[in-house]
Amino acid sequence: MPSRRAKTIREEPTPGSPWHRDTPRQGRFAALSLSAAGLAVVLIWGVWRHACAAAEPAIPPAGPPVQIGVVADSTHVRIIAYGGFDILSSAGGAVFTCAGPNVLRFSASAGPPDASFYYVGAAGFEKRQKPYAHRMLGQLRDALKVGMEILLTSDKLAFPRGRPGQGDRLLVCVGPFNDIKLAEQWQQYLARTYPAYIIRDASKRAMSEIHLYDHTNRLLARMKDSVTIRLKDDKQTLTAEPLESSATAWPTQRRTGNRYHGTLEIHLNDQGRLTAINALSLEEYINGVVPSEIGGSAPEASLKAQAIAARSEAFHKLFSEHHGNDLFDFCDKTHCQAYHGVEDQAAASLGAVAATRGLVLTYADQVVDAVYCHSCGGVSADSTDVWRSTNYPFYQAACDRRFGRSSPNLASERQAESWISSRPDVFCNSDQRGFPDYARKYFRWVRTLDGASLQRLINNHQNVGQILDVQIAERAESGRVRVLRVVGSKGSFKFTGIENVCTILNDPPSSFFVLDVEHEKANPYAVKSLTIRGGGFGHGVGLCQMGAYMMGTRGYAFEEILAHYYPKTSLRKAY
């Protein structure tokens, strides 16, 4: 690597020092002069009053802040910065600064589990107010210049007498400390403004540290809780990717991770390993989701429809308990929404997001969880066909056709067989001119499993012995398989739910399929092979991306696309 002008701002004491863990916090506490303390108290009071008021805070023009988990659990994380940057401690102090591009490694240094930690509670929020809790965390951290965390109430947390019934809440706390006396000092200091209390965390979290190394494997700094990597130029990007080891070749390994705008945070999780989080605004997040999901070359109306659906789903889940027990709001996988940072962004997709800024879908004055799928196979699914959920009127089994949304009842095997064997005139039919080539293989597909592979897959989940037959025991009106019955030499078993049904069949593209079973000719007539013929890719609920793509190609407006896939919903500005 070429040499870069870099400067280490602070290195903490060596691990052998008896005051190693608490020294930074003691120093920060002692550094609060009377004048600075008075200003901090005023700031805390204002922030606390603002965040805890009955009316929720106004949402910024770029949407609420969101945190995306881009590395979930790793011992080592490589950071590639494509411009100058600063690394800040959890208290906001500078740890390391670099004027130009560089590559660095963060590693978790494992230690023995500690008996307990102490926090000082500052404020509590309902779980649906997670964005506001994060906002207050940042504001208090800036005011106090001290390490802070958000805790989820659990039986591992012990509260003082007089504060019973904390309930299922998010707690904005100063800490952690492993010295009760230091926690008591902070509690007394904060109590000047409003009631503050000490929380004991008995979860036996590992006493790990975050170690920062340069490309020569030289140790630059040691941190306790979390760090933030902030670019000096917000037009530049960062990459975060897990490393399998700290071998000397890591600086020159080929990049495998995505590039991101915003800031990157590195946290120690409860197992003493690293989680990397991309922190940015909701609009910046949607900029990365839209091209990662439907593709940056989709028609303008299709991109706008995708942007509104993605924003609605994210906004709804942000104020729910989705990933409620994690350090981040969303993962970057399809479990939430595919998010590749800036990798796939194009002028057309960025323009579609900007043109629909703040627009969301609502029903009964509530933002809709506007889920979507790649391809519905010609018939969208009712949400209850796929999940145990409320039977929403805007999620109904319906044909993906221009005129009307009525659907044939595909609950019977004969009707399902007829539909999948045909290529009906629907929006997501891949025979149309202009249909994207990469998606043609999903409108109708075939998968085959030999008897040995099928037996291994099924017996990994349920020991039924030799597979004698596989039958569809229950099918929804949309054609999705709800219950699959497997007959084995040791008995029969029913697999229920889309995840279980698809998992034991080696994850076909969707649960909308029919089965062709070939048996051995000799006794005991075991299954020789299983052919799975199906349609669509994904769960089939909500917007069908390929149908929306072709509606845009045919000249439909984004409002018409959304009305087609989310009937009875309305558009409104969330911010």
Binning the chain into helix, strand and coil, the percentages to the nearest 5 are 25, 30, 45
* pLDDT higher than 90, residue 512: yes
Question: 177-182 long-range CB contacts below 8 Å, 24 or more apart?
Answer: 177/22, 177/25, 177/117, 177/118, 177/119, 178/21, 178/22, 178/114, 178/116, 178/117, 178/118, 178/207, 179/22, 179/118, 180/118, 182/22, 182/25, 182/26, 182/29, 182/118
Contact 175, 119 (CB under 8 A): yes
Percent of the chain topping pLDDT 70 = 86
* pLDDT higher than 50, residue 52: no
Helix axes 300-318, 545-553, angle to 10 degrees: 150
Q: 273: part of which helix (H) or strand (E)?
A: none
Give me the mean pLDDT over the 481-488 stretch.
Answer: 96
pTM confidence score = 0.80
Considering the chain, what is the average pLDDT of its residues? 86
- The model's confidence at residue 12, banded by pLDDT at 50, 70 and 90, is very low
Give me the mean pLDDT over the 533-555 stretch.
Answer: 97
Question: For 251-272, what is each residue's pLDDT tens digit?
Answer: 999 999 999 999 999 998 877 8
Q: Which positions ≥6 away from 45 have C-beta within 8 Å?
A: 193, 194
Question: For 272-326, what is each residue's pLDDT tens digit?
Answer: 889 999 999 999 999 999 999 999 999 999 999 999 999 999 999 988 777 767 8
Give me the mean pLDDT over the 329-347 stretch.
Answer: 95
Q: Is the dihedral of CA 429, 433, 436, 437 positive or negative?
A: positive
pLDDT of res. 20: 28
pLDDT of res. 424: 93
> Which of the two residues, 191 and 50, has the higher pLDDT score?
191
pLDDT of res. 165: 54
- The model's confidence at residue 108, banded by pLDDT at 50, 70 and 90, is very high
* pLDDT higher than 60, residue 246: yes
Q: Which amino acid is at 312?
A: S
Contact 535, 443 (CB under 8 A): yes
Cα within 13 Å of Cα(199), Cβ side: 28
Cα within 13 Å of Cα(30), Cβ side: 6
Pairing type for strands 226-231 and 263-268 reads: antiparallel
- The model's confidence at residue 570, banded by pLDDT at 50, 70 and 90, is very high
Question: For 115-135, what is each residue's pLDDT tens digit?
Answer: 678 999 988 888 878 888 888
Give me the mean pLDDT over the 416-435 stretch.
Answer: 96
* pLDDT higher than 60, residue 3: no
- How many CB atoms sit inside 10 A of residue 82's CB? 16
* pLDDT higher than 70, residue 195: yes
* pLDDT higher than 60, residue 31: no
Q: Which positions ≥6 away from 239 have C-beta within 8 Å?
A: 78, 79, 80, 82, 255, 257, 258, 259, 260
